[in-house]
Structure 1
Amino acid sequence: MKKNTLTRDSLWMKEPEDHDFPAAADYLELLFPPDKVRKIVEKLKEATTVTKKSKDILRASKLALLPDTNIHVKENLKKVEKNKKLSPILLVRGEHELIIADGYHRLCCSYYLTEDLEVPCRLV
């Protein structure tokens, strides 16, 4: 898919996939106790999908942009090339930074395509 034909609707699914929530829980269990993780994941499931720019999500998370040679970033870039849509990312407001609970590789992929494109996400 060429950069000039990218749109939010051509690149992203409207809703996260079911397997994204357990993946988010696996990551969040490294940061929070199990009871809090369950509450956060329930909130993510119930949250409305909103959009934010990939460059702003990356800055707020304070994470480095993964190289486009990263195997998972490359896989997502190939998906886009084949016109397969990416799942929205799952975000949690942390104390001093944004936590990407699921979708870090998809976010980096999006950034390489265009840093200004709106990224669908669930934010709690």
Structure 2
Amino acid sequence: MNPWTDLGRIDLGDALLDRQIIGEDGTVVGKVDDLELRAEGGTYVVDALLVGPDALADRLGGPIGGLLRRIGRGFRARAPQRIPLTAIRRLEPTIVVTTAVAQATDSPSEDWLRRRIIDRIPGAGRASR
């Protein structure tokens, strides 16, 4: 199954960046923080979605990017998690990836936010994921 069939050219900022990523089983992965591109025949092709504070810091750059990088160190974040395009199953309002990739991709900042903030909101345990 190829979710890219018949899409033609797309606006990457609208179609991919900052979209929520979930697994087919509902596992929350995080958001698309940046894209990995490669040059091919005079144009660029997306190779992977990148998740993590370092990926977002690189995308934003400047003082805000530096601040995000320092915050990411507080989450003990590793290098950006890489999700290959072959793992994408569906493009909906969220990006659905294979269960195996979703479970193998961790986002320390997402985990921290979920544990420290979201789970403490009354009724958050009943929220759809």
Scaled by the length of structure 1, the TM-score of the pair is 0.28
**Structure of larger gyration radius:** 2
Query: Which structure shows the bigger proportion of residues in strand conformation?
Result: 2
Query: Which structure shows the bigger proportion of residues in helix conformation?
Result: 1
